[in-house]
Amino acid sequence: MAAPVMNPAITNTYITTGASKATNVREDLADIIYNIDPSDTPLVSNLPRKEAKQILTEWLVENLAAADVNRQPEGFSYRADPATRPARLSNVCQILTRTVTVSASLTASDTVGAADEFDRQLINRGLEVRRDLEYAVTRDTVKDTNDPRGMAGLPSYCSNGSAGAGAGVMPIGDGSTAHTPGTARAMTLAMIADAVQQAYTAGGKPRLGILSPALKRTFSGLAAVGGAGNTVAMDNILQATTPKPATYVGAVDVYLTDFGPVEMAPDIFAPAGQLLIVDPDRAEIAPLPGRDMIQDNYAKVGDAESGGVIFEGCIRATAPKAHACLFDLS
- Per the domain annotation, does 222 fall within a domain? no
- Which segment of 23-32, 56-65, 223-232 scores lowest on mean pLDDT? 223-232
Domain that holds residue 122: 42-61+86-204+282-326
Query: Is residue 105 exposed (0-12), middle (13-18) or buried (19+ Cβ within 10 Å)?
Result: exposed
CATH number at residue 192: 3.30.2400
Q: What is the pLDDT of residues 62-117, one digit of tens each?
A: 888 888 899 999 999 988 888 888 899 999 999 999 999 988 888 888 777 777 88
Residue 216 · residue 276 · CB < 8 Å: no
Residues linked to residue 285 through DSSP beta bridges, in sequence order: 49, 315
- Per the domain annotation, does 18 fall within a domain? no
pLDDT classification of 1: cutoffs 50, 70, 90: low
Q: What is the pLDDT of residue 82?
A: 85
> Residues 158-185: what's their mean pLDDT?
95
Q: What is the pLDDT of residue 229?
A: 45
- pLDDT greater than 90 at residue 153: yes
Q: What is the pLDDT of residue 233?
A: 44
d(CA 238, CA 89): 37
Q: Decide which of 66 and 245 is more confident.
A: 66
User: For residue 123, what are the contacts with CB-CB under 8 A and spacing of at least 6?
Assistant: none
Q: Decide which of 37 and 300 is more confident.
A: 300
- Per the domain annotation, does 19 fall within a domain? no
> Residues 126-154: what's their mean pLDDT?
96
- pLDDT greater than 50 at residue 245: no
d(CA 198, CA 277): 11
Number of independent structural domains in the chain:
1
- Per the domain annotation, does 238 fall within a domain? no
pLDDT classification of 169: cutoffs 50, 70, 90: very high
- Per the domain annotation, does 78 fall within a domain? no
Query: How many C-beta atoms lie closer than 10 Å to residue 82's C-beta?
Result: 6
> Residues 277-290: what's their mean pLDDT?
96
- pLDDT greater than 90 at residue 33: no
Q: What is the pLDDT of residue 191?
A: 93
- Per the domain annotation, does 317 fall within a domain? yes
- Per the domain annotation, does 245 fall within a domain? no
> Residues 257-285: what's their mean pLDDT?
94
> Residues 182-199: what's their mean pLDDT?
95
- pLDDT greater than 70 at residue 246: no
Q: What is the pLDDT of residue 62?
A: 86
- Per the domain annotation, does 77 fall within a domain? no
Q: What is the pLDDT of residue 120?
A: 86
